[in-house]
Amino acid sequence: MVLANKWVLDKTTLPLFFLFVQLVIAVILLFVAHLFGLLRLPARLDLGVIRGLAPLVAINVLGLTFNNYTLKYVDASFYQVARGMVLPLTVGISFIALHARPSLRVLIACGIVTAGFLVGVLLDRTYSTSPDAPPTHYSYLGIFFGLLSSCTTALHAVVIKRSLDIVHGSALELAWYSNLLSALALIPLVVVAGEGPGVIELLSGNAAAVGVDVGFSALKTFVWGSLITGVIGFLICMAGFLSIKVTSPITHMISSAVRGVLQSLLSIWFFQDIITAGRATGIGLILLGSIYYTWVRNLESQPKAEPARATYEQVPMKDIEEGEPRRDD
């Protein structure tokens, strides 16, 4: 998903419209699955549910927007370093909002991940190493958006847990409302961000909005990229909602973080990114802290062993005094 998004974002000046198309594809897939009886969606939109899900939709739109802008302004291999503070922020927000007090080992894991973020940012001053790298201030923008993305991702995990109660625990219904309302909320943002003229140029076949690959028109590049990322995003979204329903918010987020770190390593092959010592150390520490956290959470989730019960059976004093063995009924 990260690699496919990066491929399109490297060639488009329409990140918000690209996100809007991805969400529309997810909504269409949900509706088609409903028509074929693969899943069941609500017959009508409930205004009370819409009001209750407003915080989730706002965080979802902001988070996805920050994700795209982060990926646009840094290398794919640096993406997870830029978003490396997801775990510490999620632990902190879970403590504040859900009163989930972290153990010392969890705090150590957060410290390792934070160290990875700092090492990656401070020791790697070339956040974009591709031949057509953007100006340096764009790279700083990428880190800034990465921090914002980490905050919204952490909030998203906590808010989803509470939002499930509004839809009576239905992950499918939550995915339906979340994608539909987020797509609608993005329409005015596309206009405000000034992407309207670019969208018109793209749909009219002008190559200014999207760069042209060999054998691909501007529109075809955008459409194929949107279809691939939209379908994959839909599947990840469904898996994410189901994961949140049966696991803790932090466990869900760490599984996403580990997957993202491994995906970023594949960018060396796809985008010929240069992995500097600072970048490699940062990614390694983030992965190490994430693995350690998973191990700690696995240990803490296991039930404590109960004290062993005595294997003998107490004999009444009356039987002892009479010298008679006790007979079972």
* pLDDT score recorded for residue 140: 83
Q: Are 271 and 75 in contact (CB under 8 A)?
A: yes
pTM, entire model = 0.77
Angstrom distance (rounded) from CA 9 to CA 22: 13
Annotated domain spans of the chain: 2-322
* pLDDT score recorded for residue 103: 93
Q: How confident is the model at residue 62 (pLDDT cuts 50, 70, 90)?
A: very high
Residue 67 scores a pLDDT above 70: yes
Angstrom distance (rounded) from CA 42 to CA 204: 36
Q: How confident is the model at residue 131 (pLDDT cuts 50, 70, 90)?
A: very low
Q: How confident is the model at residue 263 (pLDDT cuts 50, 70, 90)?
A: low
Angstrom distance (rounded) from CA 292 to CA 294: 5
* pLDDT score recorded for residue 58: 95
User: Cα angle vertex 140, ends 96, 129, to 5°?
Assistant: 120
Of the candidates 153, 77, 114, 80, the residue with the CA atom closest to the CA atom of residue 289:
114
Over residues 231-255, the pLDDT tens digits come to 877 777 666 656 655 566 556 556 6
